[in-house]
Each structure stands twice: as C-alpha cells, then as structure tokens.
Amino acid sequence: MQKENIILLTGGSAGLGKSTAELLMQNGYTVYSASRRLTEEKEDAVSHGKIIALQMDVTDIPSIKRAVARIMEESGRIDVLICNAGNGIAGAIEETSSEECKYQFETNFFGTVNVVHAVLPIMRKQRSGRIITTSSVAGFIPIPYQGFYSASKAAVKIFTQTLSLEMKQFNVQCCCVLPGDAKTDFTQTRKFTQASQSSDSVYTKKREKAVSIMAYDEQNGMQPIEISQAILAQIRKKKMAIVTIPGVKYKVISFLFRLVPNRFLLFVVDKLYS
C-alpha cells in the first residue's frame, strides 16, 4: 500500500475530476469520488487502485460530514483532498444579480472552504496530509463577462496560499492548481445570467463575441489528462508546489503577465476577447 493512499476528490463525475480519479486509480490510489450524482465505481486489476462513489454536494455541509464520516469509518484516514468541484456563469458584472454572484461563489469558493473545513481536523490530528485546490488561469487574468468566475478562482488561490502558511506546523501541504483552457464539459454547462438573456441588454454583442472565443479556446485547449498528470505529479512529490500551472503555454503566459503593467495586461485581454 502506498504511504498516501486514501484520496477524497470533489467534482468527480465529469471532466477534470473524472479524468483525475481514473488516473489516480490506475496508479494504485483509493479515490473517494464525490459528486452530486454518483460516479461509476471501478477497480484497476493491475494497480489494485479503486474509485469509490460518494454522493456529496459541496454546498451542503451535512452531506459533506456524512461523506467524510464514511471515509473515516471505512479507511480510517484521509491522505489527500482534491477540491475540484466548480461551475461557471457568464454575463456582464452589471447584469449579474447578487443571487447569481452568490451562486458562483457558493460552489467555486465556499464549496472548497466547506470541504477543507471538514477535512482539516483529520489531517491536523494525523499530522500529515495534502490539500490540492483547483483554481484557474482566470484567477490572475481577468476574463470579461466571466468576472465573478475569475473573482471566485482568485479567491481560491489566495485561500490556498494562506492555508499553506497555517497548516505547515501540522505537516499538511497545500497546492493550488491553475489550469488554462481545457476541453471538458465546462463549455456546455456554462450558465448565463438572467439579465444577459434579455433582448434589451446593451452588452449582447460584445458578450456573445467574448463567450464564443472562450468556447473555442476551451474546446481546442488542453486535454483533461494533462492537468490530471500535473496533479498526480504534485501528490508524488516530497514537497508540493504551493501554486502550479499545467502546460508550458500557460506557464509562459503567467510569467509574462507578471512582468507587464496592469494597463497593458487589460489592453491585451480586451483585444483577445473582442
């Protein structure tokens, strides 16, 4: 059995979560794959890794507690937590209601916080553990007409870095993964604000153009397995990176964006989505 064998992964039913669960299973890990709809349970005949389905909603604290209690009852520990559950909502900031803004943050940010809160006492008592959160390149590059998505992912990044400082004394490592555009079902499941669908919207032309460019970039982006491999690499490291960006292209973009003035950065982003 591997030293860090028991993994709780959220958002495991599709896309990056499903890809990551299967890769980890193939490498001998026991993955409790949590999602609102149950995933398929599997076992790898060669590595003896397995995927165990958990029904859990990251916005529902009682369901999180039940899921974590089951893992502890069956396995007695949680070695790695991967917070991957997320969603996207598109619309101009003016056309995003407070309720829609809260909807975006409820899963992407507070969902991560909820699951981390449930697992921290376990890892602290173990004096070991690894927490991996999924942010996005959009967490440091503002994306027009997905402003609250960008904001929620920026919040996840800062949250994870702060958590890393606080949990170091308990030998719990934290890593924030920032994927770029990836070919998943995120494109098809993107929601739109109610006001943005009105025929009276003054943002329609620019919003539709920007979102169509996003959709094209996503469907021609990285394969989920490339990001899953980056996550596996961090789990295997003796010391995880605090922030990691999968893919050479996005590493270069990140480096360049840190060098240029904010005004120029916004000018470039505006041109990319116009």
Average pLDDT, consecutive stretches of 10 residues, N- to C-terminus, the chain (274 residues): 78 92 96 92 94 96 97 96 94 96 96 98 97 95 94 97 98 96 83 89 92 88 93 96 92 86 90 90
* Burial class for 222, CB neighbours closer than 10 Å (0-12, 13-18, 19+): buried
Contacts of 150 (CB under 8 A, 6+ apart): 136, 138, 139, 141, 142, 143
- What is the model's pLDDT at position 4? 61
Domain residue limits, the chain: 6-272
Residue 48 region by backbone torsions, left for phi larger than 0, else alpha for psi between -120 and 50, else beta: left
* DSSP bridge pairs for 172: 129
* DSSP bridge pairs for 222: 182
Known catalytic residue at 274 = no
Known catalytic residue at 152 = no
Angstrom distance (rounded) from CA 35 to CA 184: 16
Angstrom distance (rounded) from CA 223 to CA 230: 12
* DSSP bridge pairs for 89: 191
Angstrom distance (rounded) from CA 127 to CA 96: 42
Instruction: Give the active site residue among 149, 203, 250, 273.
Output: 149
- What is the model's pLDDT at position 253? 84
Known catalytic residue at 32 = no
Instruction: Give residue for tokens 């958990």.
Output: 54
- What is the model's pLDDT at position 165? 98
CATH of 6-272, one of 1.20.1250.20, 3.40.710.10, 3.40.30.10, 3.40.50.720: 3.40.50.720
Closest alpha carbon to 4 in 238, 226, 202? 238
Instruction: Give the active site residue among 33, 153, 157, 228.
Output: 153
- What is the model's pLDDT at position 187? 76
Known catalytic residue at 13 = yes
Instruction: Give the active site residue among 19, 33, 35, 135.
Output: 135
Angstrom distance (rounded) from CA 57 to CA 95: 27
Closest alpha carbon to 6 in 23, 25, 31? 31
- What is the model's pLDDT at position 3? 55
Q: Under a CB-based contact definition with an 8 Å cutoff, are residues 191 and 88 in contact?
A: yes
- What is the model's pLDDT at position 2? 44
